[in-house]
Amino acid sequence: MNSYLASILIFTGINLISVLGMFLLMGLTGLLSFGQVGFMAIGAYVTAISYMRFGLPFGAGLLLGVGVSLLVGLVIGTVTLKLRNDYFALATYGFAEVIKNVLIYFSGYTGGSMGVFGIPAIVTLPMVIVIFLAALVLCRNFKVSKLGRNSLAIRNDELAAKVMGINTFKQKLLVFLFSAVFGSVAGSLLAFSTYYIEPNMFNWSKSVELIVIVFFGGINSLTGVVFAGMALTLLPEILHFGAEWRMVIYTAIIIVTMIYRPTGLFGRWELSLSQILGWIKGRRKSAVGRGGQGA
């Protein structure tokens, strides 16, 4: 495969992994978070520094990144998830900014605003695809089990959810941590596919991108966010949009979606295996039917 195409696909896959985390948090649970990019930064830097400085293998560094993200997530989540949802959104924005400033400040380890250079490109397209598919399966399991129902109930009416027996704080915290894992893994993969990382890669605009994807794809449709994630990551790459145009386009997408499809492009619609099998069967049948008529 053409290496330019491969690198775009790798980037898209990594983005999708992070988006899946956002889908659980923002789509299903209704928690708008600007913090996902912070966990991506943690994953990226922990993995890169432990590899470059301490010779830790990539896989171990990735797991270490997840561990650090979980710890940080536990602290942030415990403090902020008792707040009202709008304050939570603000607090996560602050968290991501703090992470960025920490990266710039502790330049002895992080290279400051210059970042970390010379990270080997260990990440391959098959690796990204396998991790993405695993993440997709976890998300699907989440959605169809009691976890998904609990989250949707919380998103729709938190008080009623509590009264129906859900420990809403615990559920929110678990989802927040789980989505942080997705972000962290995506960050680790990103670091080892781009040769260098710098604090500016983990800007608030990256969070906005993730949010727009979930919003556009459908806050209740896994199929929708995967589709939107692919479209909104691939298209700008292929069409070579500049960063400034991206924000304009994101804004336009949000406004148009809000006016015409407030539940997102796909709403609640999900593509299921049985549907796909149904289509294939239906096609075969009609093909056979046509063949029969012709004969």
Partner 1 sequence: MKEQPKTLLQMNNVTMRFGGVVAVNGVNINLSEGRLAGIIGPNGAGKTTVFNLISGVYDPVEGDIRFRDQVISGKSPSEITHLGIARTFQNIRLFKGLNVFDNVKMATNCRTEYSFMEGVLGLPRVWRQEKESAAEVERYLELVGLLGYENTWPENLAYGLQRKLELARALATKPALLLLDEPAAGLNPTEIRELMDIIRRIHKELDMTILLIEHHMDMVMDICEELWVMNFGKVIANGDPEHIQREPEVLRAYLGS
Q: Which residues bind partner 1 (CB under 8 A)?
A: 137-138, 141-142, 145-147, 149-150, 152-153, 155-157, 159-168, 174, 178, 220, 268
Q: Which residues pair with 197 in a beta bridge?
A: 116
In the complex, the smallest distance separating the C-beta of residue 138 from partner 1, rounded to whole angstroms, is 5
In the complex, the smallest distance separating the C-beta of residue 144 from partner 1, rounded to whole angstroms, is 8
Pick the closer one to partner 1 by CB: 20 or 213.
20
Pick the closer one to partner 1 by CB: 203 or 223.
223
Pick the closer one to partner 1 by CB: 101 or 141.
141
In the complex, the smallest distance separating the C-beta of residue 240 from partner 1, rounded to whole angstroms, is 38
Pick the closer one to partner 1 by CB: 162 or 246.
162
In the complex, the smallest distance separating the C-beta of residue 153 from partner 1, rounded to whole angstroms, is 5
Pick the closer one to partner 1 by CB: 125 or 174.
174
In the complex, the smallest distance separating the C-beta of residue 151 from partner 1, rounded to whole angstroms, is 9
In the complex, the smallest distance separating the C-beta of residue 91 from partner 1, rounded to whole angstroms, is 22
Q: Cα-flanking dihedrals φ and ψ of residue 197, to 5°?
A: -130, 150
Pick the closer one to partner 1 by CB: 138 or 231.
138
Instruction: Kindly tell me the sign of the dihedral angle through the C-alpha atoms of 23, 24, 29, 31.
Output: negative
In the complex, the smallest distance separating the C-beta of residue 78 from partner 1, rounded to whole angstroms, is 16
Q: Which tokens is 191 given? A: 């670091």
Pick the closer one to partner 1 by CB: 145 or 286.
145
